[in-house]
Chain A
Amino acid sequence: MNPPMRFTSVHQSLTFSRRMLVVGGAQAAVAGALVARLGWLSVKENQKYNLLSEDNRVQMILVPPRRGWIVDRGGKPIAINRSDFRVDLIPDQLKDAGRTVAILTELLALTPDEVDRINRDIKAARGYQPVQVAENVPYERYAAVTVRLPELPGVQPMRGFSRFYPAGPAVAHLVGYVGTPSAEDYQKSKDPLFLTPGFKIGKQGLEKTLEPNLRGTPGGQRIEVTASGRLVKELDPKPDRSGGTVQLTIDAGLQEYVARRMGDNSGALVALDVDTGDTLAFVSMPAFDPNSFSAGIGRTEWRMLSEDDHKPLINKVSQGLYPSGSTIKPAMALAFLKQGIDPRQRVFCPGGLRIGNRFFSCDARHGSVDMHVAIERSCNTYFWAMGLRTDPELTTEMVNYLGYGQEFDQLPISQRYGTMPNPKWLEKKYKRKWQGFDSANTSIGQGYVLINPLQLAVMPGRLASGKLIQPRLLAGARRQRIAPVAVDPEHLAIVRNAMAAVVNGSGTAVGSKLPLDGIQMAGKTGTAQVFRLTARGVANSNWALRDHALFIAFAPADKPKYAIGCIIEHGGFGASAAAPIVRDSMTYLFDQEKAWATLEPLEKQWGGSLAERNARQAAAFKAAAQVPPAASA
């Protein structure tokens, strides 16, 4: 320590002056820092804060944009908007929320569930965000609300739009449906539009995948509001821009015809233009009604649909996988030809073939058959024998090349693309070598072969046109150059001739000739085993155990324009269940009147048109569901 020094008032005064400088300097420094900070905030960061201030000041009462239309290749509407009435309320402007909700409950006949939801929304609402009371309000109820508006401040009866699908279930699996965004949807996007009453997003099908095209940009009334949400003044409104129209390659008439022609069957049908790959029909039946889904489906209807063993909620065209059965044979034949098999070479069919220690039995004793007859009469023995004579690697590659097991990734639709097995795949998946019976199974479309109905149409399309067409759905999509199928055109002609004979010669589908002059259809039947209880489950009385019926076709046989692939679940023989439906659908493409004339008596026999039968089914289910709960307890 320093020796204590005498500290006098002179020292004190000096210290004071020095320290005054320090204090004064510190004060000046702080003031300088304040000015610097002020400059930082108001000049350097000005833009950021200006934006935030505008965000505060201006709010937008969003008006959901009108959703774009979906139309068919001819411009016929598939999904459009219908104006409807809706009632919203603006929580900020409510005088007496409880009373208002009570009056609305009475006027609009709201259910307790809905009232709960409205009360929850009112509590959660912030600022000028409107809350939906009811949509799709019938005109009388809407009018009743309008009349009492003076005593209901904050209630907004409005014209809104709802999605309408004129063809109903016929397009259900193609376009899907729309619905109110879920809480997760909002969490993902954080878009305030998602909270706007009346706004719907695509939930399934094309409505979902084409959402960016269809949505449009919301407009709205821009308003200046205080922090507590009080309206100060209205600024100029921002108009909404409706979503773009999407044109499909679908032929809406054909689509509806096919859907109705399917009757009560559970199945799928795809029709293609063989030159362009344009998808003309994309039908999965039975189906739900997208109109009632878009309006918010009731519990009863949902239960009816999900309990149905015909699975109306599943899109069988892209999600259903089936063994291809004998429809694989034309592709197989082409593969054999490419590997040098002489089409005139004959195989004797004694009603089956022994491969290894197992006897594979054919449908009939076909006797001595060449390739043409083998396709025409669907002789398994020929294909087993040839399958064993050729290289399975090359054979399966050709079938896959023609479409089976392929995924068409330019389609805006999610697909399960099944399996076209080959030796490498087998090695990898099941760790075993390809055996003779694998060749045999694959040759007739059984075993591991799994395809979807889309592929079922692409394959005959490619055979028919000799072009590697890709199925298209969007008319506006860029057309790609279509490569030819890399085979000898003569080989294709052989296969096409054989397929023409299937329908027009003495083949398996002679009952399904087109009722048209000068236009012949070529095809191939298929029957896919579902259950191996009996050798053939065709006659099984249990529907769910019966075989799937398949049919592929193109027409006209001599100058192909259209190709169709069709599967009828548990339909039995391909010739009896699937081929007539394909025949009538194909007829529609050439002569609509004739096609409708065929359908009329059929529908009478089934008990009314599709819409009528659906309505009856729903009514029956509702009646059954309304059995007092005591009965079920």
Chain B
Amino acid sequence: MISSAIIPQPLARLPWRLIFLIMGIGLFGLVNLYSAAGGSIQPWAMRQGAALLLFLSLAIALSKVREETVKQLVIPIYGSIVIMLVLTDMLGFVGKGAQRWLDLGIIRLQPSEFMKPTIALMLARFYELLPAGDIRSFRAIWPAAALIGVPAGLVILQPDLGTGLMVVFAGVTVMFLAGLPVKWFLIPGGAIAAAIPIIYQFLLHGYQKKRIDIFLDPESDPMGAGYHITQSKIAIGSGGLFGKGYLQGSQSHLQYLPEGHTDFAFATLTEEWGMVGGTIVVLAYLFVIRWAMKVAANAPTRFAQLSCAGLAAVLFSYFAINLLMVMGLAPVVGIPLPLISYGGSAVMTVMICLGLLMSFERQQRTRSTLS
């Protein structure tokens, strides 16, 4: 905390170290987007910068919200997002195509984005309400499974497998931390592993199947569907230890790397900054997540504990899934790297998570000073 006589108290009490870290990552992202556009702040860096500032303000505003308010609002918010997801799917069904956006006339909303932090809060709320003695009973499981399954199912139906998986991942992390017996994770985990071939065969869409095929063997179709992963690996691999130099990345500048400003922004970055640049990004994220986990560990209430850990899980899954995908360790599922990839919705989601975490953190401190 910065303590100075000149800086007003409310400002000084913000978690500045985190904010600097976030702004640092964001700035690196902007610098990278400037390069991805061929050395121009148009069309991406400028707008991304604006989005970063806007949503950082939103996060700071959110940090003023009290835990009680969050608790009261979480159920209605969860309910309305589920309704919006249903509407989105119905529109998509009518429009006969992938539908992720809900056009409300003035703004277009992507309700699945809001579901990521909301699922963590919703489950935290559920386990807070569940009597401690019931945690090993079936009552601890099925409502939580339904709370995760319904929105995740709706998102996967859109179809947006990546976001659906993130919702499941965040939810399951909260369930795990709530203290459910470990066997409840191992048995379904084993069952899912066994069911993967069946899911692959009957439930996945053609393009999703193809992505998994390509993930298992990207070189099988280097000019076709394996192109993304192949080119991304070339970009990262050719960067070497220190990179090709800023604005010198041939893979991104000559457009061999597809989506070099969005999903594959990390490849653009490591091509020019090398392993050193990439590692700095990984470490920066790790610090953010460690901060979030600390907030969770120090949280005084069960709701705050589980909420913070769940939000940390959302942040972690964002970053981990994207990097695994970009480096060819996971199928291409279309998850951006928040703050680095161009795109306002990922920034918004991350800032909502961080705003809520900052709010929990602030209340810890105020509480601790009171007690």
Contacts and interface: CB of A to CB of B under 8 A. Distances in A.
Interface of A: 4, 6-9, 11-12, 15-17, 19-20, 22-24, 27-28, 30-31, 33-35, 37-39, 41-43, 45-46, 48-50, 52-53, 56-57, 224-228, 232
Contact of B238 (A4, A52, A227): A52
A46 B240 contact: yes
5 contacts: A6-B133, A12-B132, A20-B296, A23-B176, A227-B256
Contact of A24 (B179, B278, B293, B329): B293
B309 interface: yes
B282 interface: yes
Contact of B237 (A7, A12, A19, A50): A50
Nearest to A20: B297
Contact of A43 (B241, B250, B302): B241
B262 interface: no
Main secondary structure of the interface of A (DSSP, over half): helix
Contact of A11 (B132, B236, B289): B132
A42 B293 contact: no
Nearest to A33: B329
Given A16-B177, A23-B176, A41-B237, 9 more contacts: A7-B135, A12-B132, A27-B320, A28-B286, A34-B324, A39-B275, A41-B233, A224-B254, A226-B256
A227 B135 contact: no
B205 interface: no
A7 B133 contact: yes
B126 to A, nearest CB: 14
B329 A37 contact: yes
B324 A43 contact: no
A27 B237 contact: no
Given A35-B282, A48-B237, A20 B255 contact: no
Contacts of A8: 132-133
A38 B278 contact: yes
Interface in B300-337: 302, 305-306, 309, 313, 316, 320, 323-324, 327, 329
Contacts of B241: 42-43, 46
Contacts of B177: 16, 19-20, 23
A259 B191 CA distance: 85
A16 B238 CA distance: 43
Contact of A31 (B250, B282, B309, B313): B282
Contacts of A37: 327, 329
Contacts of A49: 233-234, 236-238
B186 to A, nearest CB: 13
B17 interface: no
A42 B275 contact: yes
Interface residues of B, number: 48
B239 interface: yes
B136 interface: yes
A187 B314 CA distance: 51
B274 A42 contact: yes
Contacts of A11: 132, 179
A367 to B, nearest CB: 86
Contacts of A48: 237
Given A11-B132, A53-B251, A57-B250, A27 B179 contact: no
B282 A38 contact: yes
Contacts of A224: 250, 254
Interface string B42-66: 0000000000000000000000000
B320 A56 contact: no
B236 A20 contact: no
B173 A23 contact: yes
Contacts of A45: 237
A41 B236 contact: yes
Contact of A56 (B178, B251, B323): B251
Given A11-B179, A38-B327, A56 B234 contact: yes
| Closest A-B pairs by Cβ, 7 of them | A49-B237, A53-B238, A15-B179, A41-B237, A57-B250, A49-B238, A226-B254
B250 A27 contact: no
A224 B278 CA distance: 26
Of A11, A31, A224, A226, the most chain B CB neighbours within 10 A belong to A31
Nearest to A14: B179
Interface in B256-282: 256, 270, 274-275, 278-279, 282
A396 to B, nearest CB: 61
B155 to A, nearest CB: 23
Contacts of A22: 176
Given A16-B177, A17-B297, A23-B309, A43 B282 contact: no
A280 B61 CA distance: 99
A125 to B, nearest CB: 15
B235 interface: yes
Contacts of B136: 4, 7
A243 B216 CA distance: 45
Contacts of B237: 41-42, 45-46, 48-50, 52-53
A195 B306 CA distance: 64
A457 B132 CA distance: 109
Interface in B213-247: 231, 233-241
Contacts of A19: 176-177, 179
Of A15, A42, A46, A56, the most chain B CB neighbours within 10 A belong to A42
B270 to A, nearest CB: 6
